Amino acid sequence: MNLWQRYQARVQRCCCRRAAQADQDVMFWRDRLFADMMVYLLPLSLLALVPGVWYSLKTGLLEIVLVDMLMVLALLWVALVPGISIASRKTIILSLSYCLTFVLLFFAGLPGPGLTFLFAVSVIGLLILDRPGPLFLAIINTGFCVLFGLAIHFGWIRGRAGHPYSLVEWTVISSNVLFLSYLVSALLPRLFNGLQQNMELQYQLRTQLQSRQSELAAAVIELEKKNAELEQFAYVASHDLKEPLRMVNSFMTLLQKNYSQQLDDVANTYVKFAANGAHRMHTLIDDLLAYSRTSKEDLASEDIDPAEIVQELSSSVFRDQLIETGGRIDCELLPVINGHYTSIRQLFQNLIGNAITYRKSGQPPLINVSGGETSQYWHLSVADNGIGISAEYHRKIFKIFQRLHSKAEFEGSGIGLALCQKIVEEHQGRIWVESIPGEGSTFHFTIRKPGHKKSFRK
Ligand code: ADP
């Protein structure tokens, strides 16, 4: 801190000590203004000593230089000496200004500077005092002017040599100053009132906002905890269910293989249903495991060419289905993206798988994968010519276990799109669908580009 900063800090400490109320009380800003005024008043009053001394020497009025020096000393005391209340400091400063006015009018015979000072006292008072201080000052000013008028009338003061006071002139000039004093003391407090109300309102709003924010933060933490517990539960449950299911499956297969001859047709149908059920359960558990595993994995990101994934899926996972249905997957020029490879592959697998599953009967599925990018996201879309989805289900289908069709119509577990949503959210993007029932659906998703994204959750 240099000398000027140390001086400023000292004056601020002496003249303004309520920083805690800065955001709710206009009085703090009045004190602050007073402190700032004191910071500049001291050096300026030192400068003002020069014309004061010069005037005194020229006119022989030594009272002026005496008063000026006393003023500077008083200012030093008010601005820098601790242990005086702020109200007392303000009162001293205003009283000193009145003294100076008195000297200018009475001893120096200078009505111009004297009345200017008088008006300045009103304005400064308005800025640094709370109600009813400013009105009180305007009344003091009135008393001052009337007293001087009487003094002129009775010849107690005469003005300077060659420039005697005239009662008429004094009345005209001082009444103007008084008029202005009353005007500002009526108007400025309104402004401060408005400011005070505004500050209180803002303070209330900010307090409310802060408490809502902390409530929200607590709710988010609670929600994250519950989510993690739920994921853990789904993971453990689906993992533990696999073993007994595998047993049911293998014994059903053995039953079908070794005892189908001994059982009648009805019994064989029941065994088939049970085996189908066990098979569906197996798929469900696998999907559930995949879903609960997504956020558990360490999502290391890498550059991925989505076109390669689509190509690979068409020639492996979906090869037979495409041949069987006469379907086709077209892939436009896609941007290379950055993400977790296995998750992105799973995402495309689910979307393309659905596009094939939910085709119109008797029509080969035509799937088109396209992509683009903005400054922050890659945007990819998988469009099909399938059965489409009514608008009221466009959000619902992304919830876990939400299906629009029975098992008899279409096989499925209701987890695929929930998993897609989870993967996309892990990549800080979003997923949505546009669809016209009977014409087809387009699933869009975005992936946030690195540099714009937070690091992956571990
Ligand atoms: P699943 O396919 O296992 O039922 P999903 O979460 O993948 O579960 O899909 C949820 C529902 O959304 C499906 O039951 C289906 O009704 C609808 N859906 C998903 N993809 C499509 C699509 N491409 N065309 C029409 N409907 C779809």
Where do runs of H (alpha helix) occur along 326-379?
341-357
Residue among 285, 348, 354 whose CB has most ligand 1 atoms within 8 A, to mutate:
354
How would residue 62 be classed by pLDDT, with cut points 50, 70 and 90?
confident
Judge whether residue 296 has pLDDT over 70.
no
Nearest atom (ligand 1) to Cα of 384: 23
**Residue 399, C-beta contacts closer than 8 angstroms, at least 6 positions apart:** 418
Q: For residue 305, what pLDDT is reported? A: 95
Query: Separation of 436 CA from ligand 1 center, angstroms?
Result: 14
Q: Residue with the nearest Cα to atom 23 of ligand 1?
A: 355
| pLDDT greater than 70 at residue 17 | no
- The torsion of the CA quartet 294, 298, 301, 304, rounded to 10 degrees, works out to -50
Cα–Cα nearest to 339, from 385, 361, 292, 371: 371
Per-residue pLDDT band at 338 (split at 50, 70, 90): very high
Q: Quick one: pLDDT band at residue 348, thresholds 50, 70, 90?
A: very high
Looking at the CA of residue 415, tell me the nearest atom of ligand 1: 6
Which of 397, 402, 410 most suits a substitution to test ligand 1, by most atoms within 8 Å of the C-beta? 397
Average pLDDT over residues 203-215: 92
Q: Are 49 and 57 in contact (CB under 8 A)?
A: no
- DSSP annotation string for 251-296: HHHHHHHHHTTTS-HHHHHHHHHHHHHHHHHHHHHHHHHHHHHHTT
Q: Higher-confidence residue: 80 or 56?
A: 80
- Is the pLDDT confidence value at 295 over 70? no
Residue 369 scores a pLDDT above 90: yes
Give pLDDT, residue 457.
41
pLDDT at site 160: 66
387: Cβ below 6 Å to ligand 1?
A: yes
- The overall average pLDDT reported for the chain is 85
**24-55, pLDDT tens digit by residue?**
677 788 888 888 888 998 888 888 888 878 87
Banded model confidence at residue 191, pLDDT cuts 50, 70, 90 = confident
Q: Please report the atom of ligand 1 found closest to the CA of residue 413.
A: 3
pLDDT of residue 458: 35
Q: What pairs with residue 434 in β-bridges?
A: 442
**Greater confidence, 293 or 267?**
267
Q: Which long-range contacts (CB under 8 A, 24 or more apart) does 317-320 make?
A: 317/349, 317/353, 318/352, 318/353, 318/356
Place of tokens 């609670």: 222
Q: Is the pTM of this model over 0.75?
A: no
Least confident of 210-219, 339-348, 403-412: 403-412
Where on the phi/psi map is residue 438: left (φ > 0), alpha (ψ -120 to 50), or beta?
A: left
Task: Convert the pLDDT of each residue in 240-266 to its tens digit.
Answer: 888 888 888 889 889 988 998 888 989
pLDDT band at 456 (very low <50, low <70, confident <90, very high): very low
Q: How far apart are CA 402 and CA 392, in angstroms?
A: 13
- Mean pLDDT (whole number) for 358-376: 94
